Structure 1
């Protein structure tokens, strides 16, 4: 059986990728191995749920689950051997927990699913991964498949954010326990459509919790983001470009490059690192280089120095720069050098990347100027009186939340055109790489309030929700949907899925989602989202502007 994958917005023909490779560039064997990893983690969840009941749970299993699921999101890890390593570890953990339960006489006597019992040699993983029961298409009923997919992809997003928080010493065991229960629920044929729908919303609620946890982790470690002018030009020194989302990796790299004659630049989703006070003490932290993740084939070529991927957003590279790309954490790609995880209580060793940078020329500039960001919830709350006055006076008529993901499809130009067409009395609230479609436009300000307020990374969509809830309180409204806030969200992968589910769990309605509705939504499930939450797809800029403002 060929691969089948419909987890991202680029799913072929908006149905699903199949055959020898996905649109993202992931090969059939790797895609199938990732399905097998998820399948095996369900076995870990089966026995770990029992272990929790009897005090036999090992906390490090939580980190293993977060990392395993994170490594299977769309463009994080393309390395089949790295995925096999995770399957090895999952099988070992599954059997270790099972043995501990047996030794204590606590193992439940029941019929276990294949996901909890399968065994084979590593050389046979590819064959096992092609079994129908391992992949998404095991569910013949498209509505069941759709709901289970929503849950699974939401769990992958939760795991991504959970791992970042874990790396900074923040962990909520209840979130990990929920991940296990929800994974097992996707194998439970006794659950009705209503049960699965409720689980989807529960997944969204846990998404809010994990984003709040990561917000606490980031701000307690590095301070609250503050309004910042970010330099877009380059200096004449060797440099390292950092992509992805993990601030702990970024912190350790900055410290290790201090006084080394090597500059540091952010790329794509790492841009918001510029907003954190703790990083501003480093004079070799220059600013941001380039734009969205999908432009990396051009921008990595001209950067000239090493590029470090701390997480996802990898595009299969051009040969011209393959030898200077490094990965770490959940990310990986065949041929890229991988920086090993830190030992407990230790730091990652980036010396190889730093030494490599010293041998390479300085970056070639791709743009000049500055952009402004840092409008997370703490900073916006400091401006609350100014914002409220602007709303009450009519200077600001409407806020538009335009958060989420960017991508390479031409129809995403819609978001640039939409931003340009917005009336001058409107303000864009943004987070995630979707902002690259409009954050460099000259849209001006309203009484000193920039018309594009960038809260940060995709996980900082939490900040946008906090802002909305605070405004609801200030204006003494009963329902957050009574606020002059409209939602025009772009999505690409599973972290955007959990952001969407989180917004739904907060009761936010009438969200426009594009550039296409997810391929994993069956017609019936899509209808439920439309009828219950008012979710709808984008049309033309003119039609959508009329719907929002008409």
Structure 2
């Protein structure tokens, strides 16, 4: 039996995976994820117009999160969620038979709009999950998951579906604000912090993913045990939060972006804890050192359950012992220091300096170059683009795409570093807030600022961020390395006409178009 999946940027032949996912997902797993999606839609229909409790909200959010690319490959986990969905559907006394496969085989434009909505909700569910872990939720955000999922079972017009897609973007802005407030409330305001890429001698643990709460719990449990903790991938921004960097054994950052993990983890004498995506099927050379938690799962890997007792990870670190001597490691461009922490509060604290620099012509342009990284050829575009930006420009960046250039030293402009790392993909809210604040200062719209967005995408969290930018009316976004396979020609034409979205070409050509020279 064939599967069908085209939700990630690397989908087979640029059209869809049918005989196993490029991500490593097996056919049976893909079909189970479709079944789980069907249960979510059926539950949304059954619960429509009725009050729903925390258990149902948890299921909605975690069920959607589980189906994001590179999160869960464990069929037993997904089957358990499907059974839980059946029980919840019965508890609401409703039944609305639905097959997710119907979405993939619908009319091309209907499929495109429904996929945009579904994938956007999957991305938003990840942000809602992280906020929920910290005790923060929003009724409007929760309610939209039900509304959006139930709409997939309804016969709607194209205009009605497009309206839901835009609404998803608006609600996701609220969700990202919720997560930002949750993180700042729990860990303090991020501040620029130099982070070494070198690895000290002795036992250590690598933590990857996005969940800062899991990292905090691990730091608490490893304190005083002679174990160092290193971030990886999207966990790098953790070093910028005061309540996390106060732990002396949070020592630095290991490796680069998620798609390099098979090479980087091959011989490392330490355990790796996956708190969220992006997990790749581990190679035999290090599979005994992989631990998962939360919604992440892989057959045969040790899973840390909701009690969050990281003893097995700690014991593995002590047993492996780490490196005998300090290892000097570097980013993709040879740099040894990364500096996250340029969140909205940091940037706006020097807003007057930025404004003066723009008015005097010292700073002529801002580029937001960020998004997902991936293994597909063509992503060196982002490295070369940043290298070719003029000296009188500033590069704001976030998400794992920054690993293409975040170890470069481009110097300063107007006393400010030319590269400012704003955080995870979860921190896109900061970039939006900076843009809107600068627009307010200059008395113009965001589209009138000397600001260009050059974005890369891979999975569904990038989709919901893009929908948020659309919902804010932001235009002239450059997107790559390829356009989404799930966007039909007619829907793409609509987005181009409405938002002037452009596929990337070459760094020099795009810079010439942007700067007009």
TM-score, normalised via structure 2 length: 0.96
Q: Tell me, yes or no, if structure 1 residue 202 matches structure 2 residue 167.
A: yes
Do 1:44 and 1:93's aligned partners in 2 also have CA atoms closer than 8 Å? Answer: yes
Correspondence for 2:337 among 362, 365, 370: 370
Match of 1:39 in 2: 38
Match of 2:418 in 1: 451
Do 1:238 and 1:360's aligned partners in 2 also have CA atoms closer than 8 Å? Answer: yes
Correspondence for 1:71 among 44, 66, 69: 66
Task: Tell me the CA shift for residue 48 of structure 1.
Answer: 2.0
Helix, strand or coil: the match of 1:88?
helix
Q: Which runs of 4+ in 1 moved over 3 A?
A: 136-139
Q: Tell me, yes or no, if structure 1 residue 304 matches structure 2 residue 283.
A: no
Alpha-carbon distance in structure 2 between the residues aligned to 1:421 and 1:475? 27
Helix, strand or coil: the match of 2:485?
coil
Helix, strand or coil: the match of 2:206?
strand
Q: Tell me, yes or no, if structure 1 residue 157 matches structure 2 residue 157.
A: no
CA deviations on 1:40-76 (whole Å, 9 max, x unpaired) are 0111112222322xxxx22221111111100100111
Correspondence 1:413-428 to 2 at 5 A: 413-428=380-395
CA deviations on 1:168-210 (whole Å, 9 max, x unpaired) are 0001122111111100111211x10011111110000011010
Q: Tell me, yes or no, if structure 1 residue 433 matches structure 2 residue 400.
A: yes
Match of 2:210 in 1: 245
Alpha-carbon distance in structure 2 between the residues aligned to 1:352 and 1:380? 40
Helix, strand or coil: the match of 2:285?
helix
Helix, strand or coil: the match of 2:370?
coil
Alpha-carbon distance in structure 2 between the residues aligned to 1:261 and 1:62? 40
Helix, strand or coil: the match of 2:291?
strand
Match of 2:469 in 1: 503
Task: Tell me the CA shift for residue 365 of structure 1.
Answer: 4.4
Correspondence for 1:490 among 456, 459, 480: 456
Q: Which runs of 5+ in 2 are unaligned?
A: none
Correspondence for 1:185 among 118, 139, 151: 151
Helix, strand or coil: the match of 1:227?
coil
Q: Tell me, yes or no, if structure 1 residue 525 matches structure 2 residue 497.
A: no
Q: Tell me, yes or no, if structure 1 residue 390 matches structure 2 residue 389.
A: no
Task: Tell me the CA shift for residue 136 of structure 1.
Answer: 5.4
Alpha-carbon distance in structure 2 between the residues aligned to 1:136 and 1:549? 45
Helix, strand or coil: the match of 2:296?
coil
Task: Tell me the CA shift for residue 138 of structure 1.
Answer: 4.8
Do 2:236 and 2:340's aligned partners in 1 also have CA atoms closer than 8 Å? Answer: no
Match of 2:97 in 1: 114
Alpha-carbon distance in structure 1 between the residues aligned to 2:404 and 2:434? 22
Alpha-carbon distance in structure 2 between the residues aligned to 1:199 and 1:134? 18
Alpha-carbon distance in structure 2 between the residues aligned to 1:294 and 1:135? 28
Do 1:5 and 1:136's aligned partners in 2 also have CA atoms closer than 8 Å? Answer: no
Q: Which runs of 5+ in 1 are unaligned?
A: 99-106, 116-132, 343-347
Alpha-carbon distance in structure 2 between the residues aligned to 1:136 and 1:153? 15
Match of 1:4 in 2: 4
Alpha-carbon distance in structure 2 between the residues aligned to 1:270 and 1:441? 19
Task: Tell me the CA shift for residue 506 of structure 1.
Answer: 1.1
Task: Tell me the CA shift for residue 436 of structure 1.
Answer: 0.5
CA deviations on 1:310-347 (whole Å, 9 max, x unpaired) are 001111111010011001111111121111013xxxxx
